[in-house]
Amino acid sequence: MELTRKILEGDVRAAARLMTMIENGASEARAALKSLYAHTGSGYIIGITGPPGSGKSTLTDHLTDELRKRRKTVGIVAVDPTSPFSGGAILADRIRMQRHSLDADVFIRSMATRGHLGGLARATNDVVDVMDAAGKEVILIETVGVGQDEVEVVGTAHTCVVVSVPGLGDEVQAIKAGVLEIGDVFVVNKADREGANRTATELEMMLHMAPDTGGWLPKVYKTVATKGEGIAKLVDAIFAHKAFLDERDLRKKKGRERSERAFMALLQETLRARTVERFKRNGSMKEMIERVADRELDPYTAVEEILDKIGL
């Protein structure tokens, strides 16, 4: 296939075209993804997550600088909130990242967090696969890190970087706790702000509360992303985690988890789509939903009726 061949040769425009097809849920995307799949699995996937305002985009930007200095090709998948009015990602941060846009070895793609029929996680997985097949050695996935799908996306990366900032209050601390278990490397960004040491200490204390299972011990790093401070050490930490995984053959295990989740997301989506398709033709599903809305039929019984008809 022409599109597949071009992507494997590293053609950026061909890859971007396929990503748009993925985002739009176009069925042609499937054929291309099928033939690309055998060429995936060599990219190293890094998830970067943290609350809004923690400076993830700036951090990703500077991480990319450092990775380029170390001669790695980089793919960036930014999972963004979307404006319903503009129809696209509107982050000012994104614009800053465009300074990498002249570098052929950096590929940046923003994803909308909404409107993905069948789930954001599935679409993001597909886009990561395209970057992987296109030969990007390191793939950064940046998300706001709140929300089930988003956490799943970064949680299945090879290395997950959890970003925090000083003084965002209790609620944010709680969210940080929510992603503690998926973090391999922790960052207190904006570390020139008051309270940075306290935030770092608190984080370290929380990490020490986790049971020691003899595995990787996450550490806390301080950065000032806007000034590029602490970035080289952070990249060292990420590569130390990568080396840890490789030495113990754990990278394959992480990859397996990611494959399983991706498979399940795809299975679930396809099952629903195919079932809706089958029942749409004779209008019986629409009628059923009306009855559920009118409380004549409960949704559990309705779903069971459909599964009976399918024979599942």
Residues 240-299, interacting with its own copies (CB under 8 A): 252, 255-256, 259-260, 262-264, 266-272, 274-276, 278, 288-290, 292-293, 295, 298-299
Of 13, 174, 214, 249, the residue at the interface with its own copies (CB under 8 A) is 174
Bridge partners (DSSP) listed for residue 49: 143, 162
Of 102, 104, 205, 209, the residue at the interface with its own copies (CB under 8 A) is 209
List all residues 6 or more positions away from 81 whose beta carbon is below 8 Å from its beta carbon.
89, 91, 113, 114, 144
Nearest-angstrom CA–CA distance, 65 and 138: 12
State the nearest-atom distance from the C-beta of 213 to its own copies, in Å.
13
CA-wise closest residue to 153 among 75, 236, 3, 48: 48
CA-wise closest residue to 215 among 186, 181, 188: 181
Q: Which residues, 106 to 125, sit near its own copies by CB under 8 A?
A: 113-114, 116, 119-120
Nearest-angstrom CA–CA distance, 139 and 118: 23
State the nearest-atom distance from the C-beta of 278 to its own copies, in Å.
7
Q: Is 70 in the site for its own copies (CB under 8 A)?
A: no
SS3 call for 3: helix
Q: Is 205 in the site for its own copies (CB under 8 A)?
A: no
State the nearest-atom distance from the C-beta of 91 to its own copies, in Å.
5
Q: Segment near its own copies (CB under 8 A), from 67-75, 156-164, 179-187, 226-234?
A: 179-187
Nearest-angstrom CA–CA distance, 187 and 202: 12
State the nearest-atom distance from the C-beta of 71 to its own copies, in Å.
26
Of 30, 100, 219, 242, the residue at the interface with its own copies (CB under 8 A) is 30
Residue 102 or residue 312: which is nearer to its own copies going by CB?
312
Q: Is 51 in the site for its own copies (CB under 8 A)?
A: yes
Q: Which residues, 136 to 155, sit near its own copies by CB under 8 A?
A: 144, 146-151
Bridge partners (DSSP) listed for residue 247: none
State the nearest-atom distance from the C-beta of 248 to its own copies, in Å.
17
How many residues bind its own copies (CB under 8 A)? The answer is 89
Cα separation of the two ends of the chain: 36
* DSSP structural state of residue 180: G
Nearest-angstrom CA–CA distance, 310 and 149: 28
